[in-house]
């Protein structure tokens, strides 16, 4: 009998089937890998299991040791012995390891006067850490000063402090923040746990980890289980193909420029190293082409826009615009050079408190200002025109920006910068959290800008649809540098996933600089 059984779990969000009839079984002593691309439903499944989301009616049952657990009941889930380690770990920096272990557990025993029995608690924590093979953790250390792997260990130790009751441990991308050389230590800990009969659900993006660690693997795609088998029964390429799916939408690549794009070179990263994730990244974007940048989180894909916005510091190599080195990149410096960067995350772009009109025009108010007079009428006319051209709904320029849907907000932010007529547009995850129709619109604006106005576009995205759909070239990042360049027809979803997920030979060892 399986330790944990989930039967036909469905979850519908407005306008989206996040999960459709998903089954999952985990046996005692088994490490079960759950893989899938962004938006495949992994997180939703974990959140249903943890009680955060309630599944659609008709889902279930969910059984632990054959006993049914209720949905939407985090305490019941805890009582059934299921523990979660989320990606952000949920630790309180500035508090000690001991305090973090006790946080939320209510397990401090107190002396009269509610005084914490510090010494006996400390000794007890040492004993428990040692039992997990974590004797190198000092209960008095400040969690904020620990390394990434120690932090993960603290989170695991906290999840396991009532170890005799723990049946299933769910690890959600525990290695995303870890350097590769540290992963081995974490694996050793996980293996010790399963040897004791615990079942593990291991969510990961890194396929090599699946093959190193897991016994079974289940692949989710668009909310459906497309594959479930012992790891030994499947190869890496086949697994990558299952994650990617096939190209369902015919690509609308930007124009006829294609491979022989001979537009002038606008942006170049020459062997750029940063204090972020880039380790010798080398790329160029020409006028009129759409270049995709793909990669898993931590691979450097998001460090490209971050570096351009001044969030990561260049430590070696140089960034040039029009062949001239950019000393200190940042939004204002780049805007002057005709480069517009749209970062991910609406909260970083939303100027809440201002209206849609004001959000649209803020990047360039010059056209409305002459002879000490601000032409409000011209501004309103242009705002209305932008709402039409970019299909932003509702068509109300005076609406507070925060009342627009995420997709319409994203259109506002793209329109805001395209309006400044940049020669180069850098977009980070432009369709994240945007519905299908909105995504198609945004991609169309991007392609139009490249095709009709000769704008060079750098599209940093983890969305395969975006990349395979509109890019003439896709650069796959691994370990901070470009591992492969896929040109034109080569840039299929499958090829992109293969290049991003697969290390050629074993884990990549990140050099430090």
Partner 1 sequence: MSQTADPGVASEGEPKNLTARRHRASLLERFAGPGFLLVMFVVFTALLPDTFPTYNNLIAVVNNQTITAMVALGLLVPLAAGVFDISIGGILTLSVIFSTLMFQATGGDMPVPVVILLTLGIGILAGLFNGLLVVRLGIEPFIVTLGSGSVFIGISQLIANGKVISEHIPTGFTDLGRSEPLGIPAPIIYVVVLAAALGYVFVMTPLGRKIYATGANRDAARLAGVPTDRILYLAFMTSGVCAAAAGLLYAMRIGAGQPEVGGQYLLPAYAAAFLGSTMIKPGRFNVLGLLVGLAIIAVGINGLQLNGIPSWVIPTFQGAALIIAVVLTKVRGRRR
Residues that bind partner 1 (CB under 8 A): 309, 331-332, 335, 341, 343, 347-354, 358, 361-366, 368-369, 372-374, 393-394, 396, 398-400, 402-403, 416-417, 420
How far out from the chain centre does Cα 131 lie? 34
Closest approach of partner 1 to the CB of residue 83, in Å: 32
Q: Is the torsion defined by CA of 448, 451, 457, 462 positive or negative?
A: positive
Closest C-alpha to 205, from 43, 88, 389: 43
How much of the chain is helix, strand and coil, in % rounded to 5? Answer: 35, 25, 40
Give the C-alpha separation, 261 to 55, whole Å: 49
Query: How many residues are present in the chain?
Result: 513
Closest approach of partner 1 to the CB of residue 497, in Å: 30
**Closer Cβ to partner 1, 73 or 375, answer by number:** 375
**Closer Cβ to partner 1, 73 or 374, answer by number:** 374
DSSP notation for 30-55:
-EEEEE--TTSSHHHHHHHHHTSSPP
The β-bridge relationship of strands 324-325 and 481-487 is unpaired
Closest approach of partner 1 to the CB of residue 16, in Å: 15
Give the C-alpha separation, 221 to 223, whole Å: 5
**265-274 β-sheet, strand order:** 279-286, 265-274, 314-321, 324-325
Closest approach of partner 1 to the CB of residue 368, in Å: 7
**Closer Cβ to partner 1, 48 or 308, answer by number:** 308
Alpha-carbon distances, residue 401 vs 314, 342, 354, 393 (angstroms)? 34, 17, 7, 11
- Over its C-alpha atoms, the chain yields an Rg (Å, rounded) of 25
First to last CA, the chain: 50
Closest approach of partner 1 to the CB of residue 234, in Å: 43
Alpha helices in 277-340 (DSSP H): 303-308, 331-336
Closest approach of partner 1 to the CB of residue 309, in Å: 6
Closest approach of partner 1 to the CB of residue 416, in Å: 6
- The token pair that represents 162 in the structure block: 């009532």
Closest approach of partner 1 to the CB of residue 273, in Å: 24
CB atoms inside a 10 Å sphere around CB 42: 24
Closest approach of partner 1 to the CB of residue 306, in Å: 11
């Amino acid at each position: 009998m399986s330790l944990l059984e989930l039967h036909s779990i469905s979850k519908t969000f407005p306008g989206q089937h996040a999960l459709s009839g998903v089954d999952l079984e985990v046996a005692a002593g088994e490490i079960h890998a759950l893989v899938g691309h962004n938006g495949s439903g992994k997180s939703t499944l974990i959140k249903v299991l943890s009680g955060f989301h309630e599944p659609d009616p008709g889902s279930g049952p969910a059984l632990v040791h054959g006993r049914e657990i209720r949905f939407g009941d985090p305490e019941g889930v805890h009582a059934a012995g299921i523990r979660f380690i989320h990606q952000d770990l949920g630790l309180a920096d500035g508090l000690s390891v001991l305090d973090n272990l006790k946080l939320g557990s209510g397990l401090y025993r107190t002396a009269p006067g509610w005084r914490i029995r510090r010494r006996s608690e400390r000794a007890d924590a040492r004993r428990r850490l040692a039992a997990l093979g974590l004797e190198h953790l000092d209960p008095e250390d400040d969690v904020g000063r620990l390394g990434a792997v120690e932090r993960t260990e603290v989170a695991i130790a906290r999840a396991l402090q009532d170890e005799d009751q723990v049946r299933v441990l769910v690890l959600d991308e525990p290695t995303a923040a870890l350097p590769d050389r540290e992963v081995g230590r974490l694996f050793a800990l996980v293996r010790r746990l399963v040897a004791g009969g615990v079942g593990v659900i291991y969510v990961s993006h890194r396929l090599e980890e699946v093959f190193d660690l897991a016994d079974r693997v289940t692949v989710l795609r668009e909310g459906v289980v497309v594959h479930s088998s012992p790891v030994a029964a499947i190869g890496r390429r086949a697994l990558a193909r299952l994650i990617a799916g096939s190209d369902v939408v015919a690509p609308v690549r930007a124009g006829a420029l294609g491979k022989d794009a001979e537009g002038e070179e606008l942006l170049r990263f020459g062997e750029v190293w940063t204090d972020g994730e880039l380790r010798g990244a080398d790329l160029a974007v020409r006028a009129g082409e759409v270049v995709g940048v793909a990669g898993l989180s931590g691979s450097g894909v998001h460090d490209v826009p971050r570096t351009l916005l001044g969030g990561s510091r260049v430590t070696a190599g140089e960034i040039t615009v029009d062949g001239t080195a950019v000393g200190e990149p940042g939004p204002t410096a780049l805007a002057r050079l005709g480069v517009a960067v749209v970062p991910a995350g609406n909260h970083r772009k939303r100027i809440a408190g201002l209206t849609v009109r004001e959000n649209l025009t803020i990047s360039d108010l010059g056209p409305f200002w002459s002879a000490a007079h601000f032409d409000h009428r011209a501004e309103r006319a242009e705002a209305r025109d932008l709402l039409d051209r970019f299909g932003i709904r509702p068509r109300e320029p005076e609406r507070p920006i925060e009342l627009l849907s995420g997709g319409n907000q994203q259109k506002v932010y793209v329109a805001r910068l395209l309006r400044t007529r940049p020669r180069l547009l850098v977009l980070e995850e432009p369709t994240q959290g945007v519905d299908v129709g909105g995504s198609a619109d945004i991609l169309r604006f991007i392609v139009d800008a490249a095709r009709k106005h000769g704008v060079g576009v750098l599209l940093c995205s983890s969305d395969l649809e975006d990349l395979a759909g509109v890019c003439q070239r896709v650069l796959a990042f691994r370990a901070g540098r470009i591992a492969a360049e896929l040109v034109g027809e080569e840039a299929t979803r499958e090829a992109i996933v293969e290049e991003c997920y697969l290390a050629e030979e074993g884990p990549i060892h990140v050099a430090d600089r």
